[in-house]
Amino acid sequence: MIAETRWIKAGDLARLLGLAEDEVTRYLPADLLDGLDYLSLDDAEAGAVRKRALRIVRDPKLTAAGPAMIGRWERGWGEILERVRRQGVSEASLAPQYFRHDVLRLGGRYIRANRTGFEPRLYAAMRAVLFADLFAGVDQVTEFGCGTGHNLLQLHRIFPNLRLTGCDWAAPSQELVGLIAASEDAQMIGVRFDMGILEGREDLQIGAGAGVMTVHALEQLGSRFEPFLDYLVAARPAVALHIEPIVELYDAADPFDAPAIAYHKKRGYLAGFLPALEARAAAGQIEILKSHRSGFGSTFHEAYSIVVWRAV
């Protein structure tokens, strides 16, 4: 039986984001859903992917996240920096190297993208809606773990007058942010900042009522996020957006989620962050505006869960 081709439509994106469809269509650029067609894998194919995922988890070469990986990020962002120097600033030149999967997780099943670039394109559509929805009322946004600066480029193009700060522990990131700022004539600066030990906070000012965000960045902290979270809560942001792998949103009883949970734990990704936010909400320090599993991810796990909160 030949699998039926499906396309991501506005209603699908709304479900991914936990929003009403009219909220999505209000903010979504018309072309961002073009080319997002895919096939659902049948049971045999999905079983083979699940077995491969479990083999990957057992592979001793699979490294854990954390401070020991700083050299890898320095090299990786250094490669992107050289590419941007050659090609100039663009969404393509700033794209991180880790968007390489064609088999993805979507809505509780495995799918195969029909075209290259499916994951980063759908991710860009998700960001476009979230950014437009959440950051319209602030005049400053700081991204922690900004990497190549590709999120900041998109945010600047949505809100050209926003003051933007990109923080990252890897030195090439600051030069990348500077190149974006010069190319786009943007109010954007880069700051070297280590979320694990708060090194660099003396060079950073988060104004009252500002926006903050992390995208695939807190995952590197594992369970060592408490000092950074305390720092963020003390800054009293008007809105904080996190697009991260949130292990507590998986269903441990679901066989589809078992390989993702195992992969998440083997990599040492973020653990305890959502419960810590819930505890601060119960103490009256913050209000959680959204805690939503998108159901979208790469082959091995889902790094696109969405948590939004604000200071009270």
Amino acid symbol at 80: I
Looking only at the bridges linking them, the beta strands covering 109-113 and 103-106 are antiparallel
pLDDT of residue 30: 77
pLDDT of residue 151: 97
- Cβ–Cβ under 8 Å, residues 214 and 183: no
Could you state, in chain order, the average pLDDT of each consecutive group of 10 residues for the chain (312 residues)? Answer: 84 97 91 92 93 89 80 89 96 84 93 92 96 96 97 97 96 97 98 95 87 96 96 96 98 95 95 98 98 96 97 93
pLDDT of residue 2: 58
Tell me how crowded residue 230 is: count the other CB atoms within 10 A of its CB.
Answer: 14
Instruction: Look up the pTM and report it.
Output: 0.95
- Cβ–Cβ under 8 Å, residues 174 and 168: yes
Which residue in this structure is represented by tokens 């009293």? Answer: 236
pLDDT of residue 73: 82
Indicate which CATH number applies to the domain containing 64.
3.40.50.150
| Domain tally, the chain | 1
pLDDT of residue 101: 77
Range of the domain at 197: 5-311
Tell me how crowded residue 190 is: count the other CB atoms within 10 A of its CB.
Answer: 24
